[in-house]
Amino acid sequence: MTDTATGAPGNPGGGPGGGPGGGPGAVRRRGPARWSLRVRLLVLLLALLTVISAVIVFVTLVALRGVLVEQLDDRLTDASRRSFINVDMPIVPGYGGAAPPGDTTPGNTPGNDGTAPVDDAAPGDGADTRPVPGGGGARSAADRLGALLGRSQAQGTIGAIIELRDRVPVEPTGPEDPPAALNRDVRDLVESVTAAVIDNNSLIPLTDADLAVLARIPPDATPHTHAISGRGEYRLTAQIDRAGGSVVLIGLPMDEVGATLTRTAAIGALVAALGVLAAAVAGAAIIRVTLRPLSRVAATAARVAELPLHRGAVDLPALEPDVDTDPRTEVGQVGAALDRMLGHIGAAFAARHASETRMRQFLADASHELRTPLAAISGYAQLTRRTHATVPPDVVYAMGRVESESARMTALVSDLLLLARLDSGRPLERRTVDLSRLVVDAVSDAHVAAPTHRFELDLPDEPITTAGDPERLHQVLANLLANTRSHTPPGTRVTARLTTRTRPTAPGAAAPPVTYAVLQVVDDGPGIPPELLPRVFERFARGDSSRSRSAGSTGLGLSIVAAVVEAHHGQVEATSRPGRTVFTVLLPVGTAQAHQPEQAPDAAPPRQARSVGTAEPHHPAEPDDPAEPHGAAEPHGAAHPHR
């Protein structure tokens, strides 16, 4: 059997994608758009908290750096004041200042290696360790650098004496104060630069590149930040000496500032990460509790979606009024709106069910009441025909027509009564039915009724049984064969085939696979028109718009087939193309003792028709509904015209 419904389970669109429409052009959303509301709220909360924490840490580091640099600048100012006192004082013999780089004069340092310890003279050695104003002649740049980087300076301090070719005028100041800042560029006047750094109580000369950097620093008494090769960043300040012939520069390292900022950043990042983690745990719990009413609302809507709403009484679930419908909250407003909607839907379903019940009762009562007068009419018509010797021929003909139409009316009433009883949901008789024998009997009857058709059997070697009503199942097969017989030309080959099919259960399900008996009636006639195929199992559906009765049918034969198969928890479908029409009935295999009613496989509706090569609308599935056994005197019902 060919089936054009290629959609995968759970994909009503029939396409490969999961998006609406399921076609090739359907766009499947990915990323945050597919996240649940709970996840999105938590992610947004954590992202916002992370950004805020990062901003706080950044602002803290910026502010802390400003404070640390300001403190370093204060120390630099103090060091600059001390350095000018020492630099402007000439050294006398026995002065305990640091030896300048490269000075190998004996007595200046204990090592005499040109790189002397800062504290090379100790009190009590008989030398005067104080700088004495005017105590000596002019001092060289190296001597002044040694005095600049004396014992009062800290480790890592940089000092430099920048000699100028010409003296520059400076404003005179007191002997204890540094000269005023000179806001002019003296780089063109630089003659030589002598600089060193205190490293492990020794003076280490700087590289030429570093000397060039120091020479470019203006003597404005303002701290500047520059990088020194191999030693990181320094805060440097330069001023003109009192004589105006040189620039005195001193600098302090920023290592402590960088180390403090690094430790603070690490601590801030750790605290922020712990805070975000704690917020994730607490936020997930808070969001879960907050959205719990919304989860109950969604669960209620899901239960409503799973209910069989197409027939019968519908018992809709209700929400908790005090928790899920609180109008003061957004979730409560959604719950209240859903609760009102369920109330309106429940009232509509109740009214519909009451109307259907009255209609079914009316059809059952009317059909039952019509059977008696119809039987009387048929009896009197037969009696009149038996006495035709004394009755005019035209009356005999009229009575014959009355008898045939009363028989047709009786069949129609019986069909309506059967459908009403099946719709009422009363259970059918349950016995073990040999479907193989049932097919043989039905095909034999059809061959007698239509000798011009070629009937064939395709049966398995072993009998196939099901649990059900044998007469109703015989009626299903008889109606299918009668339908084929009535709407195909003479010489049509009709094949009744019986096989089995095993449908696997869903992955992870505990139930074993279910086996179904597959009963097919196949003919090579002209086929069913595509516009009729989607509604071929509807009641009173006809192939001709004039609703003529040329085929002698009532339009209820295939409707009875669908209703009886549905009452047996089976499935019926039709496929058709020119030259091949197939009616397929699926019934659960088993015996009356072992059989447990269960829904037919897949999501296919019990009344489903598909046409090969044509596109028909998909009808929603109708769940199984047990029905009542028929009356013994009810006929099989006329076949449904499908061509």
Residue 5 inside a domain? The answer is no
Phi, psi of 573 (to 5 degrees): -150, 165
In one-letter notation, the amino acid at residue 316 is L
Residue 227 inside a domain? The answer is yes
Residue 591 inside a domain? The answer is yes
Q: Tell me, what's the pLDDT at 344?
A: 84
Q: Give yes or no: residues 412 and 458 share one domain.
A: no
Give the whole-angstrom CA distance, residue 509 versus residue 598: 15
> End of a domain among 260, 279, 295?
260
Residue 316 inside a domain? The answer is yes
State the DSSP string of 241-297.
-TTSSEEEEEEEE-HHHHHHHHHHHHHHHHHHHHHHHHHHHHHHHHHHHHTHHHHHH
Q: Give yes or no: residues 321 and 247 share one domain.
A: no
Burial tier of 241 (Cβ tally within 10 Å: 0-12, 13-18, 19+): buried
Q: Tell me, what's the pLDDT at 28?
A: 54
Q: Give yes or no: residues 414 and 455 share one domain.
A: no
Q: Which domain holds residue 374?
A: 309-424
Number of domains in the chain: 3
What residues pair up with 76 in beta bridges, in sequence order?
Answer: none
Ranges 249-258, 318-327, 614-623: which has the least confidence: 614-623
Selected residue with higher pLDDT from 416 and 565: 565
> End of a domain among 260, 275, 290?
260
Give the whole-angstrom CA distance, residue 587 versus residue 469: 12
Checking if the pLDDT of 478 tops 60, the result is yes
Q: Give yes or no: residues 459 and 400 share one domain.
A: no
Global pTM reads 0.47
Q: Give yes or no: residues 631 and 570 share one domain.
A: yes
- What CATH number is attached to the domain comprising 493? 3.30.565.10
Q: Give yes or no: residues 414 and 436 share one domain.
A: no
Checking if the pLDDT of 551 tops 60, the result is no
The answer to whether 221 and 258 are in contact (CB under 8 A) is no
Burial tier of 372 (Cβ tally within 10 Å: 0-12, 13-18, 19+): exposed
Which of 95, 82, 402 shows the shortest CA–CA distance to 248?
A: 82
Give the whole-angstrom CA distance, residue 104 versus residue 113: 6
Checking if the pLDDT of 607 tops 60, the result is no
| CA angle, residues 525, 531, 536, in degrees to nearest 5 | 70
Q: Give the pLDDT confidence of 235-245 residue by residue, as tens digits.
A: 999 888 766 67
Q: For the residues 494-519, what does the mean pLDDT come to?
A: 80
Residue 23 inside a domain? The answer is no
Percent of the chain with pLDDT over 70: 69
Which of 193, 191, 226 shows the shortest CA–CA distance to 207?
A: 193
Residue 164 inside a domain? The answer is yes
Checking if the pLDDT of 222 tops 70, the result is yes
Q: Give the pLDDT confidence of 63-84 residue by residue, as tens digits.
A: 999 999 999 999 998 888 877 7
Q: Give the strands of the sheet with 607-609, arranged side by side.
A: 454-458, 493-503, 514-523, 580-588, 571-577, 607-609
Q: Give yes or no: residues 97 and 239 share one domain.
A: yes
Residue 287 inside a domain? The answer is no
Q: Give yes or no: residues 203 and 251 share one domain.
A: yes
Q: Give yes or no: residues 394 and 491 share one domain.
A: no
Q: Give yes or no: residues 480 and 584 share one domain.
A: yes
Checking if the pLDDT of 483 tops 50, the result is yes
Selected residue with higher pLDDT from 320 and 590: 590
> End of a domain among 370, 397, 424?
424
Residue 187 inside a domain? The answer is yes
Give the whole-angstrom CA distance, residue 17 versus residue 25: 9
Largest CA distance in the chain: 175
Q: Give yes or no: residues 498 and 443 share one domain.
A: yes
Q: Give yes or no: residues 531 and 487 share one domain.
A: yes
Q: Tell me, what's the pLDDT at 49?
A: 92
State the distance between the two ends of the chain, measured CA to CA, in whole angstroms.
20
Checking if the pLDDT of 193 tops 70, the result is yes
Checking if the pLDDT of 20 tops 50, the result is no
Q: For the residues 531-542, what does the mean pLDDT come to?
A: 82
